A = this chain, B = another copy of it.
């Protein structure tokens, strides 16, 4: 778990620590990665971008400051990090991760708990994108997870998919659970799914995963016309609706109109605060809301559902589900609509 890398405060796990020890010497169960690229969490990058008014130099300076102060990339406001790709430099003899020196990997655990040292001052990054070219090294623990990058996909594409691979995996599990349960009791109703932020990375994968898991009607909700057109072209949802997810009434009306009823499963994939109430209102009694956005407020979700007397199950989106990397990469390979959205996004970056 990397407890020996925690500098302060003592006793917490690396993710909860203020500062980690970035010594390059590895313990026998650790792995050192030569870093090529960081992929900042969307909520984190957005916060930095807005704080600095779109000044890339100041964004870069703050990322450098965070990493040198904390020994890891964890945005102190959003609490979130991101992930990285690089090459295995040295694998300890007792590391259970099965990695070999020279393999190109992506880390599937958050940067918030990964000791990181940047050695090039981020000289190749303009501070204007979540994708950060970077020279330096990082340490993986025994319980970390890393995926060897597939040879058939561009590394940036793999990284973008692996960054959000927990979302389609958990969506698939929840939707399949409803499908199974209805089949068991002979309930013929289809399982309808709403994905808020359906044209984004985690959103498009979640739509594809919901369909694979047996969803009936699906609606992707997006905030702007360009995303609506892109999602319609991708063909991943039976319906596409335009709405501001921060407006609870507008969001619930959009979902209910598109599906003909509230959703059985609502998946929140937009990285802006204030979407909790709309997601609850858009969900049928007995349904489930899965919150993947790091901008989710626990209290707003809990009190919002209570205040609306809404009998919905609300899940904290866990980024780890067994088999998540394979499932997401499989969706990218087999769903042209997913691939088109990801490639357009990388080009725009």
Question: Is there contact, CB below 8 Å, between A306 and B110?
Answer: yes
**Distance (Å) between the CB of A296 and the closest chain B CB?**
5
Q: Is A257 an interface residue when CB atoms closer than 8 A count as contact?
A: no
Chain B contacts for A204, CB-based, 8 A: none
Residues 61-77 (chain A) with a chain B CB within 8 angstroms? none
Shortest Cβ distance from A163 into chain B, in angstroms?
11
**Interface contact A319-B298, CB-CB below 8 Å:** no
Q: Given contacts A248-B12, A249-B3, A315-B314, is CB(A78)–CB(B307) below 8 Å?
A: no
Bound-complex Cα distance A100 to B13 (A): 53
Which of A143, A307, A308, A314 has the largest number of chain B CB atoms within 10 A?
A307
Is A322's beta carbon under 8 Å from chain B?
yes
On whether the beta carbons of B297 and A320 are closer than 8 Å, the reply is: no
Residues from chain B with a CB closer than 8 A to the CB of A306 are 108-110, 166, 318-320
Residue of B nearest to A43 (CB): B299
What number of A residues sit within 8 Å (CB to CB) of B?
56
CA distance A3 to B281 in the complex (A): 13
> Distance (Å) between the CB of A289 and the closest chain B CB?
8
A80 x B315 contact (CB < 8 A)? no
Q: Which of A241-283 contact B (CB under 8 A)?
A: 247-250, 274, 277
A residues near B (Cβ < 8 Å) are 1, 3, 11-16, 78-81, 108-110, 112-113, 143-145, 166, 247-250, 274, 277, 291, 294, 296-322
Query: What are 26 A-B residue pairs whose CB atoms fall within 8 Å in the complex?
Result: A3-B249, A11-B247, A11-B248, A11-B250, A14-B307, A15-B300, A15-B303, A16-B277, A16-B300, A80-B299, A81-B303, A109-B309, A110-B306, A113-B303, A143-B309, A144-B309, A291-B316, A294-B298, A294-B302, A298-B316, A301-B316, A302-B316, A306-B318, A310-B318, A310-B320, A314-B316
